[in-house]
Structure 1
Amino acid sequence: MNHIHDRFFKSVFSQSGVVASLIADLFPPDLASAIAIDSLRLTNDSYIDDALNEHLADLVYECHFNDGLPFVVALLLEHKSYVELHPHLQLLRYMLNRWQEDLQHKRKLTPLFR
């Protein structure tokens, strides 16, 4: 993570208040209102494998829905100097990395919203 934009991203989005605002502004209203925002906790988790590591920065927050069920918010940022024709393939790999880790730790597969 030597790129200045990666450091800037991690600096800004390491602040739970910024992430709370992002959730309120960008998530569908029903989903945003179901999240217990005060439970946001930045983790040390990362789901980027070696093939993606040089291009992406990620931050992972754990929190809960208002009913107590656990929920994960993973922020993924990539700066490109060109238009990616198939960004959904990178996102799919990222999601699969999370699910592989769930399986390795014998956890239920994490619901992911994109």
Structure 2
Amino acid sequence: MNRNTTFALVFASLISLPAAAASFNCERAQTPTEHAICEHRNVNDADVKMATTYKIINRLVPMGTRSAIRDEQVRWLALRDRCGQSVECLTQVYQMRQQKLEQYMQRVYQQGPF
């Protein structure tokens, strides 16, 4: 897969994703972490960006890699939820996860789906 095809797939994936205030319904937020994400714009934006990147990567990688990335995501969600309402903690864990997801995206850009 060439670079133009990869960009086209990423763009198509973005178009098909609905716009959201968060990656989940804030009206149903239950945990302190979910409330903090909904109440703080910068964390909310980080949540949307991370969720969008995660969904794109899941569409571009083969099943074995997808499984590993999903397992990482589950572990990351548990880490994120330990932040509670701490915006500083949430900001840090979202930055950490986004960096990891961007590493996967770089591999897709360089090598094609892996």
Tell me: higher relative CO, structure 1 or 2? Use CA pairs within 8 A at least 6 residues apart: 2
Task: Give the shorter-chain TM-score range.
Answer: 0.3 to 0.5
Normalising by structure 2, we get a TM-score of: 0.35
Normalising by structure 1, we get a TM-score of: 0.35
